[in-house]
Structure 1
Amino acid sequence: MFTIENYNDVSTPKKALFNWSSGKDSALALYKIVQNPDIEIECLVTSVNQEFQRVSMHGVRVDLLQAQAKSIGLPLKILQIPEMPTMEVYENVMTEALNELKDEGITHSVFGDIFLEDLRKYREDQLAKIGFQGVFPLWKIPTNQLIQEFITLGFKTIIVCVNERYLDKSFVGRIIDQNFINDLPDNVDVCGENGEFHTFTFDGPVFSEPIDFEVGEIVYRKYEKPKEQDSSNKACDTDTNDAFDFGFWYCDLIKKK
């Protein structure tokens, strides 16, 4: 029973935004964080390619993203990001959005990252500049364990993008199940944490109803390496010299009416 004597022991949940990618790691991280009484998720935040109106890297159409948010039951804030933005442009868009959310009392930012130390440090450093704290519900949980938990919980997700450095065209458009996991090469993380593949999650315990879609065409895209004079400040920079030697296979998904 709640009494005046234990009033001071009751903590107010911290208001947080959730960085929603539309994929499986986001879905599982959201499932876990909503069970944490110390965190209250106020909205989903997703960056979208301004030119193509698709989720950055995943290639998922905005109407499917909006359908996910509706089924989850949380407001969606879309950040319009230019294709191949400079780091300065990317950080300015993020900072402006976070400052607006900070004015609404939000102080924490939740991510689905699992084990990339450099990425976590970058996120935390950027958040600290504006007084936010990062939250990482999946951090350091073995990916083999995570993917089995994901499937057992009843989540369903489809591969919408693969990096041809790691996987060929045959993997895109597949549903993640035990057969998919068994078919992955040994050098590919089962959660695709190194960017080997990206997903769209369309059913599971965070949704009030499944997202209804049909599979469209499969397309190949190769990104142009930034010009040398511009490469030092590109948000897509990588330390891998041959990163731009490889392209990506995308599976288009079309929302059913």
Structure 2
Amino acid sequence: MKKTYFNWSSGKDSALALYKVLQKSDYNLDLLVTTVNKDFDRVSMHGLRNELLTEQAKSIGINLKTIEFPADVTMDLYSEIMKDAMDSLVEEKYTHTIFGDIFLEDLRKYRDSKLNEVGITGVYPLWKKDTKEVLQEFLDLGFKAITVCVNAKLLGEEFVGRIINEQFIKDLPENVDVCGENGEFHTFVYDGPIFKEPVHFSIGEKVMRSYTLHDNEDDNCHQPKKEETSHDTSFWYCDLLPN
């Protein structure tokens, strides 16, 4: 069997991809790997408290490893920290890793190029699937998720802190992918077929935060872009409080 770790975001696409991989017998998947902001003790980009991330992993029943980044991370520092982390995973004999990516070609090329440097194979269970079908399958399987971060350029405050359901899908603007694959929104999955029990939380405050990104840091996926640009971007966050 292939010794495998999973790139766990804490969101819905990760949850569905993990579900699919766990149905297969050729992957020995025993580790979730998540990037976190060490200055704020939260999941990168999602803004989820690490306590809830830990509770997720416990309910899923798979060990969790976090890779810590400072809040102000440059491309060079990002690459250095990730390379050290992957080298460590190679030393632990991991040969494969799973992602929940669906259609971002540049992101997959970037991931695969970095994985090739250390001899790890990337696996993409949701790749090129229709995002409407992906989200419908997610709901049909009984998964439950809530939005924790939305891109303020595309979605208003009313879209953050919302349960993902049929009404949410209907309310999305036409220019927003239903899975938020372009970084329009991020989610926290708190129940479903991969969980032993639901992760309990209460909804806290909603805040908007704006950031100035480094030259070629990707605001959607925290990966370097090919072009070198600098711009501001804003997000609505909903703080979830562990119960």
The TM-score, its normalising length taken from structure 1, stands at 0.89
1:254 is matched with: 241
Report % sequence identity: 54
Residues 33-55 of structure 1 deviation map (CA, whole Å, 9 limit, x = unaligned): 11121111120000000110100
Residues 206-235 of structure 1 deviation map (CA, whole Å, 9 limit, x = unaligned): 110000000000011000244xxxx25786
Q: Work out which of the residue numbers 105, 115, 119 in structure 2 matches 1:117.
A: 105
8 A Cα contact 1:18 1:41, kept in partner? yes
1:85 is matched with: 73
1:242 & 1:66 partners in 2: Cα distance?
Answer: 34
2:133 & 2:24 partners in 1: Cα distance?
Answer: 20
Q: 1:115 to 1:36 in 2, by over 3 A?
A: same
2:197 is matched with: 209
1:45 is matched with: 33
Q: Work out which of the residue numbers 153, 163, 172 in structure 2 matches 1:175.
A: 163
- 1:175 aligned partner, one-letter code: I
Residues 181-216 of structure 1 deviation map (CA, whole Å, 9 limit, x = unaligned): 000000000000000000000000011000000000
Greater shift, 88-97 or 126-135, is seen at: 88-97
Relative to its length, the structure with more strand (as a share) is 2
Q: Work out which of the residue numbers 63, 66, 70 in structure 2 matches 1:75.
A: 63
Q: 1:98 to 1:237 in 2, by over 3 A?
A: closer
The structure 1 segments of at least 4 consecutive aligned residues displaced by more than 2 Å after TM superposition are 231-243
1:10 is matched with: none
1:8 is matched with: none
Structure 1 residues 91-170: aligned runs within 5 Å: 91-170=79-158
The TM-score, its normalising length taken from structure 2, stands at 0.94
Gaps of 5+ in 1: 1-12
SS in 1 for 2:77: helix
| Aligned: 1:62 with 2:40 | no
1:108 & 1:67 partners in 2: Cα distance?
Answer: 25
Q: For the pair shown, which has the larger CA radius of gyration, 1 or 2?
A: 1
Count of aligned positions: 239
Q: CA deviation at 1:243?
A: 5.0
- 1:224 aligned partner, one-letter code: T
| Aligned: 1:221 with 2:209 | yes
